[in-house]
A and B are shown apart, each in its own frame.
Chain A
């Protein structure tokens, strides 16, 4: 209990450091801009899109503003969201090393495993903030520019406003879970270097590579093992009744990545000479 509360104060301190940084807020602001730009673009162009044209849900945005959040999430998933995620994950250890604060944390003493765990949880909290920012900014701008009402699901059923807000939260949560794998990969890469930008770039590159491989039909045997594979599969959450099959396979896959890269990060970091 005592030890737990002490780790709590490190966890809070970690979040305080993250959310004192202007960079964190700038990234969240940029993320909020995606649904806003999307809604403005839709509102300002008079042209009606034919159903199915443009990204999924886009045609629905004008009829129901609540779809702004879903559409923005789809748009942000391939590149923009992973980019901000990579910045935060790549910074974890390498950022502290490049500032030199890592040596002072370690001699505090923080405990290397404890630091890794707290750093990782901190990045997951950022992912949660990012995905909910997408949704919430989407709801707000969507309700300003468009009518809102009961949502017609992909299955044709209608759900109430309250139910749709709940589904949106589930989608945001699904997307957060989707990010846990890449966060673990970023954490591991971050233990390999003292140059945070290098770790961030490498993490982004891996995300790109994974998505490219996922698009090569010749490698179909590999697809279900790629950490980006289920990223866009949150459509199942928008069916009635809600289908959690892809949620479960995604969660399991991400858990695997977290276990493997978490272990790699620990085995690297626990024996590393801190020379910065």
Chain B
């Protein structure tokens, strides 16, 4: 565990074994309080399984968990009331109204106050924009409305952590934007938000921190700015006489030069001096049409770590 920094969620060597498969394989998460922590990974990488262990729904095969300083599952009962969650999509009684569903789940919470129940339920419905549909039976809800009702359920009480498993799944772009705004406003209240997704683009703008998971392992984790910096800067050069150009670059001590049809791409140190190189090339009478440093997008970084394909990894 990381010392000196207050963590909302921390795990060490957390593992979940299903038969012979390790769905989660020794992950150590450090989620600082107040952060919006993106938990990124392709389908089947173990995100939901991790979240189930965090919430005490499944037992860890190995490793330790702490939520807000409470060891899990030992002090689960103390931790859970401070946590709102959406796990593997929303789930409700289809034959009851949205509002009655929330009343039901809140009645199940043995720490919640019956007196304020209706008021809290209505406030949560209001917050996710479902007030007008609250009397409709859930089987008449669209997936987007169910997703919102799931969020309302997570917001029935003031929370310290929200754990949201793919909260934008099944939402249209408008709905996705609304959920993002909701998360932003919750984060602004100081709530720690742990949000999983298989799409970086859905959460990139939100997150202050990121962990990237693939095949049960965390392959990168940290502050989003640090992660951006970790990716390799590249020099892109477009010019005539490209073969000669390659020789010149090699003469400058650059390697791993990749030759594209009309340009070259070379990995370089972050503080590479483009101006000096440019001067040199001009002196050698190259007709340079483009010269620039490029930082790969986080998306590209993510794809590099997790592999591109559409196929589920396992």
* Residues on the A chain within 8 Å of B83, using CB: 107
Cα of A22 to Cα of B96 in the assembled complex, Å: 11
Return the contact of B106 from the options A20, A103, A108 (Cβ within 8 A).
A108
Return the contact of B110 from the options A20, A103, A109, A274 (Cβ within 8 A).
A109
Does B58 make an interface contact (CB < 8 A)?
A: yes
Does B59 make an interface contact (CB < 8 A)?
A: yes
* Residues on the A chain within 8 Å of B93, using CB: 17, 20, 99, 101
Return the contact of A111 from the options B57, B105, B110 (Cβ within 8 A).
B110
Return the contact of B52 from the options A10, A20, A274 (Cβ within 8 A).
A274
* Residues on the B chain within 8 Å of A5, using CB: 114
> Assuming the A-B contacts A111-B110, A273-B59, are A105 and B77 also in contact, with contact meaning beta carbons closer than 8 angstroms in the complex?
no
In this complex, what residue of B is CB-closest to A97?
B91
In this complex, what residue of A is CB-closest to B89?
A100
Does B95 make an interface contact (CB < 8 A)?
A: yes
Is the pair B95, A22 in contact by a Cβ cutoff of 8 Å?
yes
Return the contact of B77 from the options A10, A109, A273 (Cβ within 8 A).
A109
Is the pair B108, A110 in contact by a Cβ cutoff of 8 Å?
yes
Mask, B68-91, CB within 8 Å of A = 1, is: 000000001100110101011111
> Assuming the A-B contacts A6-B110, A22-B95, A274-B57, are A108 and B105 also in contact, with contact meaning beta carbons closer than 8 angstroms in the complex?
yes
Does A218 make an interface contact (CB < 8 A)?
A: no
| B141 nearest CB across to chain A (Å) | 14
Cα of A205 to Cα of B90 in the assembled complex, Å: 34
Mask, B131-157, CB within 8 Å of A = 1, is: 000000000000000000000010000
Is the pair A17, B104 in contact by a Cβ cutoff of 8 Å?
yes
Task: List which B99-142 residues lie within 8 A (CB) of chain A.
Answer: 100, 103-112, 114
Does A158 make an interface contact (CB < 8 A)?
A: no
In this complex, what residue of B is CB-closest to A271?
B59
In this complex, what residue of A is CB-closest to B84?
A107
Task: List which A66-108 residues lie within 8 A (CB) of chain B.
Answer: 99-101, 103-108
* Residues on the B chain within 8 Å of A114, using CB: 110
Is the pair B59, A115 in contact by a Cβ cutoff of 8 Å?
no
Does B222 make an interface contact (CB < 8 A)?
A: no
Is the pair A103, B96 in contact by a Cβ cutoff of 8 Å?
no
In this complex, what residue of A is CB-closest to B114?
A9
Is the pair B81, A109 in contact by a Cβ cutoff of 8 Å?
yes
* Residues on the A chain within 8 Å of B110, using CB: 3, 6-7, 10, 108-111, 114
Q: A9-B107, A100-B88, A107-B83 are in contact. List 11 more A-B contacts (CB 8 A).
A: A12-B107, A13-B103, A21-B95, A103-B91, A106-B55, A106-B56, A107-B87, A108-B108, A109-B56, A109-B111, A275-B52
9 nearest A-B residue pairs (beta carbon) = A100-B91, A13-B107, A108-B109, A273-B58, A110-B108, A109-B80, A274-B57, A108-B108, A105-B108
A-B contact pairs, 6 of them (CB 8 A): A5-B114, A17-B93, A108-B105, A108-B106, A109-B111, A273-B57
